[in-house]
Chain A
Amino acid sequence: MVTQLWLIPAFPLAGFLILSLFGTRLPRKMVPLIGVGVVGVAALITIITGIDFLQHNTAGYFVEQHLWTWFSIGSFSPEMTLHLDALSLCFIFVITFVGFLIHLYSAEFMKDDKGYSRFFAYINLFIFSMLTLVLANDLLLLYLGWEGVGLCSFLLIGFWYNDSVDAEKNAYAARKSFLITRIGDTAMILGLFLLVKDFDTLNISTILNEAPNVWTANSSEAVWAAVLLLGGALGKSAQLPLQTWLPDAMAGPSPVSALIHAATMVTAGVYLLARTHVLFSLAPSIQLLVAIIGAATLFIASFSALAQHDIKRVLAYSTISQIGYMFLALGVGAWSAAIFHFMIHAFFKALLFLAAGAVILAVHHEHSMFKMGGLRKKLPVVFWTFLFGSAALASIPLVTAGFYSKDAILWYSFAGTNGSVWLWLTGIVAAFVTSLYTFRMVFLTFFGEEKTPTHYKPGLAIKIPLIVLGILSLVAGFIELPHNFGHFTPFSDFVSTTLPPVSLLANPAAGETVLQVLAGVLALVGVWLAWQLYIKKPEPLRQFKYGSGAGLFRFLHDGWKFDQLYDVVFVKPFVWLSKIDRRDFVDRIYGAVGFFNVAMNVVFSRTQNGKLRYYLLGIGIGAFIVLTIILAL
């Protein structure tokens, strides 16, 4: 079974092909059957493969399947080869399993949309591309998946292309996301060129094995390779300074936000960095940069989340922020902690988006949290699962999975050899803010008085994914307990066959337990503060928000004004140049030549007046002048 790796991406691809070619002609009931079914089969195969894999998993174990050679020029021949190791197994598990749940959810969520089959076609193509990305054994094949998910993201953000009100906005969000991620992708492909030049191959295993021999640590090639690959990761994972596309990407349908813009695609950057970790070890300065970018992003994004009205934008900023934690972990070399957080984050963030989608359906496509409220009684299942997800996001201690995964990152950022107090401090402050904005969202949406009446009852296809993910958000953390209690670490043991362990300081300044207690207390304080500010005594905050703090709220709401900055620096000049030079000044130059000729034609055609006597006069004068010249010489 394990040798038939290609089947895993093949099923979603088949789903895409069937739906895109015959989607409109299929009966409507067949569409979800195919769309969801193929992903379900892929998830099943993944689980079987995973069980098989676990039985052999020893250090350096991997499974490869060569499909065909893409092309071969000289000694450079990128191959279509699938590669399964612990890291990619983790990812394909999340992609197919969470993907399946989200597909199931969409079957009901999208059932009245006229683009039903188109939706499943796109989302199947997305699953295929994402699987290609994580299973690729060659950076070029990885890039194929990498761009493929970008395409699907573009298509799905702009899915409602002629929604009468939002068509322009959706189209703008779609092309913005594509363009900004493309900037990152371009950096990445430059990195590939560099690797091609120095290694003559893009085979990941070869490069990882050879890099320490070919490059010395801190050599300029190593640094540049790391920077350029990092650029790709920043774009895809919406990290500073390329983070601005993700909040706008929420224009897409909620399942899309859950699957692409929270659980899977945006973590592709994390995967890339983990996959090429050797290159970053060769460029410690860049690895530090990864940590700093992660810390800065998580800090900035968590504060932005605090000032949003739109429930999905809160979640979008929280996604940016949580991926920031993953980058922080990658930056301090805690590879397995990053992957662990990725997995837990996929569960609870997908859950939050799906639940938010149900809420939005319930309140007639209203996105503003201030117009929701009191939904606790009306939507019990949604409320409880949303609460579990929020608890995990806020990392409520001991009972949620988010606590265990985030705790590991905070601990390593403090005690790891590459860590520092400052990174930890940023992380812990943002963790507090996270808890605050998360429960602000919970309280505004589900508590207080009812502002929009609703009679919506989610069906089974929506409830099942919510419940499964809700349970996972609580219990999935137990597969990796901190060292100081339990020391039960099957997850990091599992990925340790692929990723090196983190190195810790011999004696850090504070014990792990102290920090855990601190983090736990801060999370609970955040919940309490949210309760006070938004339910108990909302007046002071409201006064501040519309009074002296308005500017600050505006600033945070606009995501620290990055959009406006880019608009002025890049977008406006380009559009202005295009407009001013629409007629192409080069063409004007040739036009001038043409104009000169026409003008001469006008002048000389005056002389052709048709009067014989004038012509003769011309001849006479000409002859006279010529003769004079000849005689004079």
Chain B
Amino acid sequence: MIMIALILILMIGGILAWLLSAVNKNIPKWISLIALLTDLLIIVFFWSNNAGNISFAQNNRWLTEVQYEWIPQFGMSFHLAMDGISLVMTALTFFLGIASLLSSWKNVDKHTGFYHFNLLWLLAGITGVFLAMDLMLFYFFWEIMLVPMYFIMVIWGHENSKYAGWKFFLFTQISGLMMLLSIIALFVIHGNATQVYTFDYMALLGSLAGGPAAFWIMCGFLIAFFVKLPSIPFHSWLPDAYTESPVAGSVIVAALMSKTAAYGLIRFVIPLFPEAAQNFAIPGIILGVASILYGAKLSYGQLNLKRLISFSSVSHMGFILVGVFSFNTLAYQGVLMQMVAHGLSIAALFIMAEFVYDRTGKMDVNEMGGFWDAMPNMGGFTVVFIMASLGLPGLVNFVAEFLILAGAWQYDIVLAVLATLGLIVSVTYSMRILQKVFHQRNHTHSYSLHDISVREWVVMGSLTVAMLWLGFFPQSVIRIAKPAFEQMKMIQPENKEATREANPLQSSSIITFTAKKGGGL
């Protein structure tokens, strides 16, 4: 029930915001804030209630689940379910939703009602994607995300936003249709084999592990997810979309929408096509590595602050690909952490860019510099965000990258080494952001700069706290997602970890040591 409430609150809030904007154009943003806060509170409450109930039993797969008939003739049902992964991602959605709303609190002055309608429906779509356990329902929410995003981008975006909007729409729509084809093909193949025609996730699990059909159907999913992630060579829509969007759009599309793709990879691609995915592992990791390195290189070359940040996202999402195709629990936990970590850090950077833009009206880094003088607080926060983006230990990104790469090392050493080079190149562009804006040649005299307001302090401060908290205590997320990943491990055809644990030499020696360690103190 709670899941339907989460989505409905957003949808109804959106409609209300639109309707009431006729009364006063400041009402919609308060409605959005209240709707999102309510959702966040619900999810936090739910989390704290369920934190103790996580168990590893197979019959207790979901924390909560609802299923209603939707179009039974075609085997579609309204099936929502939540496990640890979905819980973490929905919590992230509402948290970042609030952050993006507050960061653009004063910027939107035209069509406020329609703006907040789009914002809330967009978030509703994302929430739905994280919860849907029926493939058709998943696709439905997947498309719901698309349209409001397009409107936000085009109507409230920057100068070149029409071009960016069309590009975004074409890329995601075409790739989405490929996924639809795959979903239908899966439905038909499964139906022909079992005479049960259904789109239900649980029913389709394991129906098509390997073989050429599985490969091609998987490709449909992969293209949709690769485009949205994005991975090289499907990243071309990203810099335009991220750069031309208004700040809330940038934050949501970069921090949340790209996560739906990562989520899709671990929720659908790996479990539905375990063998085909295994066969695709090496190309997948190579794509990831290419994204990491090429994205970083592109990012370094940019002059526009938002483009710089956008390309860094390509680089960071490459880690997700590496992790997804490494097939071990370390890497999977790393992928989840990376989804959270990248969500927080990219949102933080875009918000920082927006605050700078608010004050200067410029995006060109060559016209910035020395801003620390005028805005020490923002500079301090930016140091944290930059350090998060380059993976400094103590911030959540480090945990994520460490887990992914340690997992990748166990799968393939050479590719892991190449991916790890990303840690070096990430320094180049991250330093560029920090130094070009806040250090170096002093440009402060050209603008009237003032340090961050209380509202901005709250946004940046809460992001910082979240990054630090998860950097030092990632266990809260790891623990809640553990059963879900245990489930994934079971369906894998060959289990590398099992063979490793079976190595008698290592396991026995570690046990003997723990016995010794006890007497140390």
Contact = CB atoms under 8 A, between A and B. Distances in A.
B329 to A, nearest CB: 6
Contacts of A182: 423-424, 427
Interface string A167-184: 110110011001100110
Interface stretch (B42-50, B90-98, B294-302): B294-302
Residue of A70, A73, A578 contacting most chain B CB atoms (<10 Å): A73
B191 interface: no
Given A64-B520, A167-B440, A586 B300 contact: no
Contact of B510 (A144, A175, A201): A201
B484 to A, nearest CB: 13
Interface in A564-600: 574, 577-579, 581-582, 584, 586-587, 589-590
B495 to A, nearest CB: 12
B474 interface: yes
A190 B333 contact: no
A161 B370 contact: yes
Interface residues of B, number: 65
Interface string A62-76: 111000111111111
Contacts of A399: none
Contacts of B435: 158, 161, 171, 174-175
Nearest to B295: A584
Interface stretch (B216-224, B253-261, B315-323, B405-413): B405-413
B297 A70 contact: no
Interface in A301-320: none
B265 interface: no
B509 A574 contact: no
B416 A193 contact: yes
B210 interface: no
A193 B513 contact: no
A197 B439 contact: no
A186 B410 contact: no
Interface string B365-400: 000011011001000100100010000111000110
B513 A206 contact: yes
Contacts of B431: 175, 178-179
B21 interface: no
B440 A168 contact: yes
Contacts of A206: 510, 513, 517
Interface stretch (B60-68, B146-154, B230-238, B349-357): B230-238
Given A118-B376, A144-B393, A76 B330 contact: yes
A178 B372 CA distance: 20
B449 interface: no
A62 B517 CA distance: 11
B409 A194 contact: yes
B438 interface: yes
B330 A209 contact: no
Interface in A177-220: 178-179, 182-183, 185-186, 189-190, 192-194, 196-201, 205-206, 209-210, 213-214
Given A72-B475, A151-B387, A192-B406, A164 B442 contact: yes
A245 interface: no
Contacts of B387: 151
A147 interface: yes
Contacts of B393: 140, 143-144, 146-148
B417 interface: yes
Interface string B231-256: 01101100100000000000000000
Contacts of B370: 161-162, 167
A594 B24 CA distance: 42
B472 interface: yes
A4 interface: no
Interface string A43-71: 00000000000000000001110001111
A465 B232 CA distance: 56
Given A179-B427, A197-B409, A186 B421 contact: yes
Interface in B322-373: 329-330, 333, 369-370, 372-373
B31 interface: no
A452 interface: no
A270 B376 CA distance: 36
Given A189-B420, A581-B298, A214 B505 contact: yes
Given A70-B475, A147-B393, A164-B442, A193 B406 contact: yes
A323 interface: no
Nearest to A205: B517
Given A70-B472, A72-B475, A171-B439, A147 B392 contact: yes
B402 interface: yes
**A interface secondary structure, majority:** helix
B8 interface: no
Contacts of A174: 435, 439
Contacts of B428: 179, 574
B424 A186 contact: yes
A582 B304 CA distance: 11
A140 B421 CA distance: 18
A73 B392 contact: no
Contact of A167 (B410, B416, B420, B442): B442
Contacts of B424: 179, 182-183, 186
Contacts of A197: 406, 409-410
B329 A74 contact: yes
A71 B475 CA distance: 5
Interface in B414-466: 416-417, 420-421, 423-424, 427-428, 431, 435, 438-442
A70 B439 CA distance: 34
Given A74-B330, A578-B297, A161 B372 contact: yes
A90 interface: no
A140 B402 contact: yes
B230 to A, nearest CB: 11
Residue of A147, A170, A214 contacting most chain B CB atoms (<10 Å): A147
Contacts of B501: 75
A201 to B, nearest CB: 7
Contacts of B506: 198-200, 214
B423 A186 contact: yes
B298 A584 contact: yes
A577 B402 contact: no
Contacts of B329: 73-74
A95 interface: no
Contacts of B392: 147-148, 151
B23 interface: no
A178 B427 contact: yes
A189 B510 contact: no
B353 to A, nearest CB: 18
Contacts of B398: 144, 147
Contact of B376 (A24, A71, A199, A577): A24
Contact of A210 (B402, B405, B406, B513): B513
B440 A20 contact: no
A82 interface: no
Given A148-B393, A581-B298, A582-B301, A158 B406 contact: no
A20 to B, nearest CB: 6
A158 B442 CA distance: 14
Contact of B232 (A62, A193, A586): A586
Given A171-B439, A200-B510, A190 B301 contact: no
Nearest to A61: B520
A209 B516 CA distance: 10
10 contacts: A70-B474, A73-B478, A162-B369, A162-B373, A164-B442, A168-B441, A192-B402, A193-B409, A214-B509, A582-B301
Given A189-B423, A199-B506, A578-B297, 5 more contacts: A63-B521, A68-B473, A146-B393, A179-B427, A186-B421
Enumerate the 3 nearest inter-chain pairs by beta-carbon distance, A residue then B residue, closest first: A578-B301, A161-B439, A144-B393
Interface of A: 20, 24, 62-64, 68-76, 80, 118, 140, 143-144, 146-148, 151, 155, 158, 161-162, 164, 167-168, 170-171, 174-175, 178-179, 182-183, 185-186, 189-190, 192-194, 196-201, 205-206, 209-210, 213-214, 574, 577-579, 581-582, 584, 586-587, 589-590
